[in-house]
Amino acid sequence: MKYITKYKSPNYNSRRNSKIKLIIIHYTALKNNKDAILHLCDKEKKVSSHYLISQNGTIYALVDDKFRAWHAGKSFWNNITNINSISIGIELDYNPFGKNNKFTYKMMSSLKKLLTKLQKNYKINKSSVLGHSDIAPFRKQDPGKNFPWKSLLSSKIVLKFKKLKVSEIKIIEEWFKNCNLKLQKHKIILALSLIGYDTREVYNNSKLYSKLISAYRNRYLNNEDRLKNKLLYISLITHLFNFMLTKK
C-alpha cells in the first residue's frame, strides 16, 4: 500500500508502551484536502491524525503508528479515557456542508484497504473499529449519519450481528430481570455501557442520554429505522449478545 509521506505533523508524543487496540474514523469538516493537511500539520492547532484520506483515495501518512497522535480529544471507550494512547486515527476529507460532501468510491476503497492492513498488523478486532461519535457522543458527530458503515460491514471489516432466536432474546431479558432492571431505558443504558459507550452521566441527564442514543442510531440503524424505539431496543440487544459472544 502506497502512502504520501512528504507531509508530517509535529503534533504527537509517546504512547508509553500502550498497545494499539482501536481505530477511530473521523471527518475533517474542512473545505478540502489541502486545508486538512495544513490544519493537521500546524503546530499551533495541536491536533493530528495518523492518516488522512482524500476524495480521490490518496492516503497521507502524517504521524507514524508508533506515536500517539492527537485526534480523539476528550473521549471514552470501555472505561478508558486516554483513547489517543491506544488508537490509530484516520481522517477523511469530508465536510457535510462543503463541496467535498461525498464518501467517494475511491475514498472508501482506500479506507477499506488501510483498515484491513491495520487490523492485521495490530490484531484489532471488528468491534474495535469506531467512529469519533462512538467515543465522544456528547460533542462529536463524525464520521456522520451518512457514513457508509454497511460498506465496511459487507467487506467484513466491522462486526456483523447474528440475528437472535427467541430463546436468545429470553436469555438477555432474564439476565436484565436478574439485574433488577425493569425500565427499558435502564436496560438500554446498561447494554450501551457493556458495549463500551460512556454512560456515566446519562441516567439523570436527558440531554446527554438523547445525544448518546442519537450517536448509536446514526451508527447502527438505517435512515428509516432511526426513530423507531422498538428497533433501537432490538438492535441493542442483538448487538450486546453478539458482542459478548465475540469479546476476547
Average pLDDT over every residue of 148-160? 95
Q: Residue 227's pLDDT is what?
A: 58
Q: Residue 228's pLDDT is what?
A: 65
Its pTM stands at 0.95
Cα–Cα distance, 137 to 74 (Å, whole number): 10
Amino acid, res. 85: S
Backbone angles phi, psi at 89, to 5 degrees: -100, 130
In b/e form, how buried is each residue of 31-45, taking b as 16+ CB within 10 angstroms?
eebeebbebbbeeee
Distances (CA, A) of 132 to 16, 77, 144, 168, 245: 23, 11, 9, 31, 25
- For the stretch 185-206, pLDDT in tens is 999 999 999 999 999 999 999 9
On the question of pLDDT at 207 being above 70, the answer is: yes
- For the stretch 26-69, pLDDT in tens is 999 999 999 999 999 999 999 999 999 999 999 999 999 999 99
Q: Percent of the chain, pLDDT > 70?
A: 96
Q: Percent of the chain, pLDDT > 90?
A: 84
So which residues are the catalytic ones?
91
Q: Where are the domains of the chain?
A: 12-154, 166-246
In b/e form, how buried is each residue of 197-223, taking b as 16+ CB within 10 angstroms?
bbbeebeeeeebbebbbebbbbbbbee
Question: What would the grid cell of residue 172 be?
Answer: 438477555
Which of 1.25.40.340, 2.30.38.10, 3.40.50.1100, 3.40.80.10 is the CATH number of 12-154?
3.40.80.10
Average pLDDT, whole number, for the chain?
94
Cα–Cα distance, 75 to 86 (Å, whole number): 12
Q: Residue 244's pLDDT is what?
A: 81
- For the stretch 117-139, pLDDT in tens is 999 999 999 999 999 999 999 99
Q: Residue 102's pLDDT is what?
A: 98
Q: How far apart are the first and last CA of the chain?
A: 29
On the question of pLDDT at 93 being above 90, the answer is: yes
